[in-house]
Structure 1
Amino acid sequence: MTRRAVASLTAAVALGVAVFFTLYSLVPVTRSDEPGLSSLFVGTMMTFVMGVQVFAPALVRRGSLRLVLAVSLAVLGIGALITGIAQGTALLLLGAVSGGAAFGVLIVAGAQGVALLVPGERLGRALGVYGLVTMAASAIGSPAGVQLALAFSPSVFGVCALVAGLLGAVLSFGIPAGVGRTGAGAADAAVPTARRRGPLAALLGIPWLAVGLLLAAVVLLSHGLTSLPVTAAAQGAALVVFAVQAGNALGRWLGGELEARTSARGAVLAGALLLASGGALGALVPGPASAIVSGVLLGLGVGVVQTVTLHTTMLRMDSGRASVVWNLGVDGGLWIGGILWGLAIASGLVGPGALLCSALILVLGGVLALRLRGAP
């Protein structure tokens, strides 16, 4: 029963991830002659993604995991349809608001759901597999969705996205009805009760060092998706982005396996070394080939760090709050990275910036590994 529920959860969220990341690229690609409108759409959508995340655990408690997933997937599909058929700015922004809000709830509830369904001793590996499937959906589904819109029309993509969202909503019903509504999940049982009560206790319970490493890792990931491809020839830029995304998907799985086979400490060190190696390679060795290898290393490293920091956070907080904190760390890293690497490109400081970020990750990873000494 648990395996079927986790499989249903993972497949449902993967469909939502594919739809969302297609939306993230859709307007900039299909309306390239309106860069201001593209920026407004993406900025509005990401604002609502981050703005609603804190409310997702309460929604799960008041309703249930499968109800929250089903509704958010259906709304995400509707938001994609609105975006696809929109002609004016108002309707386009309505698609951004509905799609962003739905995805913000979906992505937090999805990670929380894994912890609600899987016992603590198997949680690290389960989070790794979940991350592998959802990130693979982004790496494959997003280019496919954009190509669908370009080959036919954004409206055709919108209809297909609506179908995908509704299919994900149906898959959500493979999760038992009471999960999430009745209280803490399997992995939450080991979390001290004091850390699950009150805002001050929640803040004190956040593993800030792990969140700091996650934030720095995602900032360097943003380099792999924005400024690193600029260093490759035009024909190699797309390969660099794909290398980062594919490496990220594999790294999410690898993080769960490394933690299970060695320790959280060993997995953190491996992730930090992979990230630092990728950052240094891209900064010191010019050319498309080195950029692609650098992209793979960055993707693998950030994937490992993402899985281990999510598991570490869930061991110290209840799964709902942990998922909120982790997702805000990821989204915050993408937001900060998008700004910083844009400035770095404009000022010619991409290489030094990548080296500085790599060094910071090594320091944070080493300190966190020392703090995790003796952790399972």
Structure 2
Amino acid sequence: MTSTEEPGDAVRIADPARPPWREPGMPALLAMTTFAFAGFAVMLPVAPMHMVALGGDEFLAGLVNAVLMLATILTQLVVERMRTWMGWRVSLALACVLLGLPAIGEIFATTPGQILALAAVRGIGFGIVTVSGSSAVGALFPPERRGRAIGAYGLAVAGAQLVLTPISPWIADQAGLPVALAVAALPLAGIPFALAAGSAIAKHARATAALLGGAGPVRDPLETPREERRALVRLWPPILALTVVTCAGGAITTFTPQFVPDAVLTVVALFLYTAAAAFARWAVGGPADRLGARRFVLPGLAIAALGLAAIAASIAGIAGPAAPALLIAGAILVGTAFGTMQNVTLVRAFEVAGEHAKGVASTAWNVAFDAGTGIGALAIGALAAGTSFALSFAALSALCLLAGILLLLIGQRERSAAV
């Protein structure tokens, strides 16, 4: 396909003076992302609640989001190849369909098996939208602007979650599960924006190809599996840091309605957790561009460990009457760490993988993100079923500390070798 676009289209998209959310293609991408993640945000706590309502225990409740994330990860491994023959428009619209329709189907679900099957379908849609979204940001913006761009994208991801994740358990409790599940069909409203965003991203690719003297879309120049493996080896430090923090996020969003007996406190804790994550992911973008994303990884792990320890102490009743305040403080700290790590680890992944391997970096980052979320839901559910939620969150706190120590030691060894 020969481009009919002017090379100036690519230059306009790289305009450093324009705010990232005003770049061509970004408004539609952000709108689609908001609707897509709205459905995901509702179902993350509501689907496990539905499983419990049908008689499932803590393990089965955790299994719902674990199945979701397993399907997500398996899909993420093939999204980049799939999009080469489906195109941006079809793949983004399909993601919205697969995220929205299962929520309507779950209104009629009557068995745990049906809930798990629908979670798997949602996972396919979520796998498409997560890899495609971060790949789109990596494609639309040059390295020196990605911190702010990822921050803007993160606001779209978190915007609907800020409202719907904390309030959806309350909606299910007060208005009934069918109402909450109907709200979870919001990704269907994102289909028109998905089509528009897909067109804009494809246009950008053609314009960039024309600017570089080529014809057709720009393709990833990775030529051999060996080169891909080399990129993956360089990615493991930010991927490790992201995974342990998303384990904590998966545990909080899945089980807060179970380990917090008060419905109002559940809403407040989830709202502040999500708000802190949204603000941190946006706010850290500029400093990460100026100072380097690597500087924020270890502090993020330390903040997560402190917040998880506070939640564990609150659940255990160590703080007595101050337990609710301790829970809120812990939720804010973990949310801050979660949002920070979402931004800086993605920026870092693009950095260490190299410009030639942005697709590999996007896929690996999204797989780690969702693997951590699923592992957190499944492992904490299994551990809590045999022990307690307090011990489970204490174990997560220790895991964050261990990961931070390991990365600190690796960093010191790398600096020593460079001298």
| TM-score (norm. length: structure 2) | 0.75
Conserved in 2, the CA contact under 8 Å of 1:74 and 1:165?
yes
Q: Which residue is 2:238 aligned to?
A: 210
Q: Which residue is 1:362 aligned to?
A: 404
Question: SS at the partner of 1:197?
Answer: coil
1:72 and 1:310 map into 2 onto residues whose CA distance is 21
Q: Which residue is 2:287 aligned to?
A: 258
Q: Which residue is 1:335 aligned to?
A: 374
Which is higher, the Rg of structure 1 or of structure 2?
2
2:414 and 2:200 map into 1 onto residues whose CA distance is 34
Gaps of 5+ in 1: none
Task: Map 1:285-304 to 2 at 5 A.
Answer: 286=319, 287-304=323-340
Rate the CA distance shift 1:79–1:354 in 2: closer, same or farther, 3 A.
closer
Rate the CA distance shift 1:209–1:15 in 2: closer, same or farther, 3 A.
same
Q: Deviations over 1:329-362 (max 9, x none)?
A: 1122123223443355443534652442242143
Match for 1:15: what amino acid? F
1:7 and 2:27 correspond: yes
Question: SS at the partner of 1:319?
Answer: helix
Shift of 1:272: 2.7
Shift of 1:228: 7.7
Match for 2:38: what amino acid? A
Which residue, out of 199, 222, 237, partners 1:177? 199
Conserved in 1, the CA contact under 8 Å of 2:308 and 2:334?
yes
Q: Which residue is 1:347 aligned to?
A: 387
1:21 and 2:21 correspond: no
Q: Which residue is 2:362 aligned to?
A: 323
Shift of 1:83: 1.9
Shift of 1:9: 0.7
Gaps of 5+ in 2: 1-11, 14-22, 213-218
Match for 1:275: what amino acid? A
Rate the CA distance shift 1:173–1:359 in 2: closer, same or farther, 3 A.
same
1:183 and 1:243 map into 2 onto residues whose CA distance is 42
Rate the CA distance shift 1:372–1:152 in 2: closer, same or farther, 3 A.
farther
Shift of 1:237: 4.1
Rate the CA distance shift 1:105–1:354 in 2: closer, same or farther, 3 A.
closer
Question: SS at the partner of 1:63?
Answer: helix
Q: Tell me the matched-pair count.
A: 367
Shift of 1:80: 2.0
Conserved in 1, the CA contact under 8 Å of 2:66 and 2:375?
no
Q: Which residue is 2:138 aligned to?
A: 115
Q: Which residue is 2:53 aligned to?
A: 33
1:294 and 1:323 map into 2 onto residues whose CA distance is 30
Task: Map 1:117-196 to 2 at 5 A.
Answer: 117-145=140-168, 154-156=177-179, 160-162=183-185, 164-175=186-197, 177=199, 179=201, 196=222
Match for 2:324: what amino acid? P
2:293 and 2:108 map into 1 onto residues whose CA distance is 47
Q: Which residue is 1:310 aligned to?
A: 346
Question: SS at the partner of 1:64?
Answer: helix
2:256 and 2:169 map into 1 onto residues whose CA distance is 22
Q: Which residue is 2:20 aligned to?
A: none
1:194 and 1:74 map into 2 onto residues whose CA distance is 28
Match for 2:401: what amino acid? A
Match for 1:297: what amino acid? L
Conserved in 2, the CA contact under 8 Å of 1:282 and 1:294?
yes
Q: Deviations over 1:46-89 (max 9, x none)?
A: 33222211111112222332331112112322222222244567
Conserved in 2, the CA contact under 8 Å of 1:222 and 1:334?
yes
Rate the CA distance shift 1:291–1:311 in 2: closer, same or farther, 3 A.
same
Conserved in 2, the CA contact under 8 Å of 1:274 and 1:298?
yes
Rate the CA distance shift 1:30–1:281 in 2: closer, same or farther, 3 A.
closer
Rate the CA distance shift 1:300–1:167 in 2: closer, same or farther, 3 A.
same
1:358 and 1:161 map into 2 onto residues whose CA distance is 32
Which residue, out of 231, 240, 247, partners 1:219? 247
1:98 and 1:342 map into 2 onto residues whose CA distance is 22
Identity over aligned pairs, percent: 25
1:69 and 2:69 correspond: no
Q: Which residue is 1:103 aligned to?
A: 126
Conserved in 1, the CA contact under 8 Å of 2:51 and 2:115?
no
2:180 and 2:70 map into 1 onto residues whose CA distance is 23
